[in-house]
Amino acid sequence: MWAEREIVVKQTKALGRDAFAIETPDGQLLGTARQTRKMSNLVKASRGVEVFDAAGAHVLSIEDPANFIRDQYVVHLADPPMELARLTKRFAWLGSKFDVEVAGLPDLQIQGQVFDLNYALTSQGQEIARVDAEYSGVGRMLMGKTSYRVAIQPGLDQREHAAVIGIALAIDMRRAKMRRNSG
C-alpha cells in the first residue's frame, strides 16, 4: 500500500461504524479502514480510524483526540509505533484550514476544497499528493458513502507515503464529523 502511486478509498459502510476499502485504480484490494469505537474512547471522548493491509495486519491509526478549542488529528504508524503526522484545525471565516506537520516534509500545506474532497498537499510549494472526489453513483451518494482518489508523487519514502494516506483519512473524518454535527 505504501508503494502505490495512486489509490482509491471507497466507503463501504456509512451506518454505525464507517468502513472503507483501499484499492488500486483497477480494483485490487490493498487494505481496509474502519472507524474505532472502544470503551476507552468513551472515557477519553476520542474517535479514530484503524487501517489494515490486505493480509489484515494493523498498519496505521488516525486518532481524533478530545479537544475543545481546535480540532486535532494524529496519524500513527503501527509498526514501529510512531507519530507520522498531526493536523490542527485553524480558525477560518470561510472553509477549513489546517496546520499540518509531517517529519521530513517542511512547510506542508493543504490547498483546495477540503470538504469537497478536492485538494492538493504541497511541501515548499511543490505538489506531493492530490485528492479528488469520485462519483460513485446516486445510491452510494444518498447513503452518504464517499469515494476519492489519492495520487501521490514519486520521491516520498514509505513513512511519508503512509502519512499522506493518513492525512486524507483524517480530513475525511473531519468532514464526516461536521456533517453529523450539522444535521
Mean pLDDT of 163-183: 79
CA 158, CA 161: separation in Å to the nearest integer? 5
Architecture of domain 6-182: Beta Barrel (2.40)
Predicted pLDDT at 14 = 63
pLDDT of residue 41: 45
Cα gap 40→178, rounded to integer Å = 23
Name, in order, each residue with C-beta under 8 angstroms of 176's C-beta and a sequence gap of 6 or more.
Answer: 18
Q: What is the pLDDT of residues 70-115, one digit of tens each?
A: 788 999 999 999 999 999 887 665 556 788 999 889 989 888 776 6
Domain spans of the chain, in order of start: 6-182
Long-range contacts of 105-111, Cβ-Cβ distance < 8 Å, separation of 24 or more: 105/160, 105/163, 110/167, 110/171
Greater confidence (55 vs 94) lies with: 55
- The whole-model pTM stands at 0.86
